[in-house]
Amino acid sequence: MDDEKHLWITIDTEMDADVHWKKEWPPQYTSVCEGIPHFLRPIWDEHNVHPVYFVSPEVLYSDECCKVLKDEIAKGAIIGAHLHPEYIEPNSMWGENMKWAMPQFPHSDCTKEEEFSKIANLTELIESRLGVKPVWYRSARFGSDLDTIHSLVKLGYQYDSSVTPNIDWTSKGGPDHSKAPTGKYRVAEDDMYREGDLDIVEVPVTILGKRWGLLGRFLPDNWLFYKWLRPTHMTCLEMKHMVKSLHGQKELVMMFHSMEIMINKTPYVRNKWMQKYYLWRLRQILAYAVKNGYRL
């Protein structure tokens, strides 16, 4: 990282889901094998984007997915690790057993030792399958805590992007990120949400307060009602207002899932029109960021 303004485009890269976010066996990977080369790569080329693909373990079990990601690496993409603990040893539920696997928060559904082993195994898998050593990390469901950070330091990671400022996930069994800074910071030894001197930098997802002004105060405490740099649920105008309001912040982070751009692979895109509208919003906000001095 340097002193230039940078908007990081980060994609949680996973197997397909359905409109209820359920993942089935055998796995499908249309969002990686079709979505990345056919829908996303033309946008990356148009705006000179160097995306960060946070790769979940199951994607690396597919030769076709690995080929796509190697092509992306050759074009300047960054590969990060994205731990869905259900899909990698120890205690993996990969295979037909995944039908009964509940989505997990790595920091709370695994012991400290088990989480470390899973991150280490995922790191080795990325190196062996893609030929790069990941230095970026994002946990599944944003489920990182201070133990996670210390594990990442031991494994040589330089950046974590698991923190979602303003969002409290504790009602679902996850972490409380509501008091986290919105800008990047070096993590403290004893506090994940404070500036310190650990050898790792937190680069939070860019999230501000509730949407829709005064009306937002009366909305439920659900992630959908917060302002994210995320074309999933945000309008183009809302995202432009965010970029404008954060003009003094040098590091912004957009995130979405790879399968969100595909039809009926998440709740958000149900037909071709919705798909085109999603990709239009993505193009528009990238162009606006570049116009406002951000490197992508």
Residue ranges per domain, the chain? Answer: 6-291
| DSSP reduced 3-state for 162 | coil
Side-chain half-sphere CA neighbours of 109 within 13 A: 23
45-79 pLDDT, tens digit per residue, is: 999 999 999 999 999 999 999 999 999 999 999 99
What pLDDT does 52 receive? 98
Percentage of the chain beyond pLDDT 90 is: 92
180-200 pLDDT, tens digit per residue, is: 999 999 999 999 999 999 999
Residue 221 burial (CB count, 10 A): 11
Its sign, for the CA torsion 169, 12, 119, 179, is negative
Local confidence band at 99 (pLDDT 50, 70, 90 cut-offs)? confident
pTM of the model: 0.97
What pLDDT does 113 receive? 98
- 121, two tokens: 């195994």
Secondary structure E strands in 70-143: 78-83, 136-139
Distances (CA, A) of 281 to 29, 222, 257: 23, 22, 15
**CATH T-level assignment (fold) for domain 6-291:** TIM Barrel (3.20.20)
Secondary structure E strands in 182-250: 185-186, 201-202, 207-210, 226-228
Among the ranges given (15-29, 92-106, 195-209, 230-244), the one the predictor scored with the smallest mean pLDDT: 92-106
